[in-house]
């Protein structure tokens, strides 16, 4: 496999073959994100992609994740060619996953997303980060709350599983409460299949690192992040969703099947908040992006 630069994938794709079909992120301007800094965005040629697939075609591969940042930005015809080739070459293939941003999704109609599903696209990862319009503007998310909700709903309507990422702490101390409440509400409207909550970790050199340096943004304390988690979950109403805060950046790893385990999870979080014992939290040295 020929990879260009660092490769990122969702934690749940740890066992998947990572197939790099684009290099970098076509947007690349979110203030907190350093994932694809220095990478010039391009879509790999079908020949390059086919070579990589051919190289692994004799292995039994059940899952493939299409990297990099927003591979759904590939025009429909290209995605159909890639998925068809994967389907033809990898006999045991069960699921293909992909990152997408709201605008990539909204560029496709439900029928187009359904066509990708029929060719094996099983899960789509969308970064919401926050449901608070002010936070989205400040972090330069390049999508409004309305666009993000419409994008999430469109994915759900197509039958492709929807996994949404949110970031604890991204509203700073001042915006903490409203970030948590609004994110819970927006998640409820999207009603995704999976939610992954991360905690903001500052990467030097990013615009958000400057905000921290100058004091424009103040990071919430670990227990304030857990309070955000509590508020967010309390504001989430899901039909059927697996909510996880077990990413390495979080202080309190949880795996919650909603709605069944919501109240139990809230009780556990409230107990941690009541005791305020740092030993109950993941130690700082074990936290990572
Ligand atoms: S859209 Fe995603 S990958 Fe691109 S800059 Fe924003 S967070 Fe990073």
What is the maximum alpha-carbon separation in the chain? 58
The predicted structure's pLDDT at residue 246:
84
Report whether pLDDT(289) > 80: no
Residue nearest to atom 3 of ligand 1 (CA): 69
Report whether pLDDT(47) > 80: yes
As a whole number, the mean pLDDT across the chain is 96
Q: Is 32 in the pocket of ligand 1 (CB under 6 A)?
A: no
Q: Is the bond preceding 259 in cis, omega lying within 30 degrees of 0?
A: yes
The predicted structure's pLDDT at residue 284:
85
- Please give the DSSP secondary-structure letter assigned to residue 165: E
- Top pLDDT among 218 and 247 is at 218
Find out whether 82 and 66 touch, Cβ atoms under 8 Å.
Answer: yes
Confidence of residue 288 (pLDDT cuts 50, 70, 90): confident
Residues 67 and 74: their CA atoms lie apart, in Å, by: 11
Confidence of residue 38 (pLDDT cuts 50, 70, 90): confident
Mean pLDDT of 246-251: 88
Residues 71 and 23: their CA atoms lie apart, in Å, by: 9
pLDDT for 159-171, tens place per residue?
A: 999 999 999 999 9
Report whether pLDDT(183) > 80: yes
The predicted structure's pLDDT at residue 4:
94
Long-range contacts of residues 112-115, Cβ cutoff 8 Å, at least 24 apart:
112/76, 113/154, 113/155, 113/157, 113/158, 113/160, 114/158, 114/159, 115/76, 115/80
Residues 250 and 263: their CA atoms lie apart, in Å, by: 20
Q: Is 101 in the pocket of ligand 1 (CB under 6 A)?
A: yes
Instruction: Write out the two tokens for 120.
Output: 């094996």
Mean pLDDT of 182-206: 97
Report whether pLDDT(283) > 80: yes
Confidence of residue 286 (pLDDT cuts 50, 70, 90): confident
Confidence of residue 33 (pLDDT cuts 50, 70, 90): very high
Q: Is 25 in the pocket of ligand 1 (CB under 6 A)?
A: yes
Can you state the angle between helices 76-89 and 110-118, rounded to 10 degrees? 20
Candidate from 34, 36, 40, 198 with most ligand 1 atoms within 8 A of CB, to mutate:
36
Residues 73 and 103: their CA atoms lie apart, in Å, by: 8
């Amino acid at each position: 496999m020929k990879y260009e630069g660092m490769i990122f994938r969702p934690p749940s794709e740890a066992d998947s073959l990572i197939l790099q079909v684009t290099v970098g992120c076509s947007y690349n301007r979110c203030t907190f994100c350093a994932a694809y800094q220095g990478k010039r965005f391009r879509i790999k040629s079908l020949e390059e992609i086919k070579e990589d697939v051919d190289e692994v075609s004799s292995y039994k591969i059940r899952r493939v994740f299409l990297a990099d940042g927003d591979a759904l930005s590939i025009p429909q015809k290209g995605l159909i060619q890639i998925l068809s080739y994967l389907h033809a070459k990898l006999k045991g293939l069960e699921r293909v996953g992909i990152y997408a941003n709201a605008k990539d999704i909204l560029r496709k109609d439900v029928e187009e997303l359904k066509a990708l599903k029929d060719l094996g696209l099983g899960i789509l990862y969308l970064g919401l980060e926050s449901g608070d319009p002010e936070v989205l503007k400040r972090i330069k998310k390049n999508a409004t709350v309305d666009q993000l909700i419409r994008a999430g709903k469109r994915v759900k309507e197509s039958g492709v599983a929807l996994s949404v990422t949110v970031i604890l702490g991204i509203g700073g101390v001042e915006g903490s409460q409203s970030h948590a409440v609004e994110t819970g509400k927006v998640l409820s409207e999207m009603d995704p299949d999976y939610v992954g909550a991360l905690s903001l970790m500052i990467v030097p050199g990013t615009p958000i690192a400057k905000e921290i340096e100058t004091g424009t943004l103040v990071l919430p304390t670990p227990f304030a992040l857990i309070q955000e988690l509590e508020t967010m979950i309390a504001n989430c109403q899901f039909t059927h969703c697996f909510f996880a805060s077990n990413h390495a950046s979080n202080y309190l790893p949880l795996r919650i099947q909603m709605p069944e385990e919501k109240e139990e999870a809230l009780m556990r979080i409230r107990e941690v908040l009541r005791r305020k014992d740092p030993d109950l939290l993941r130690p700082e040295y074990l936290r990572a992006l």
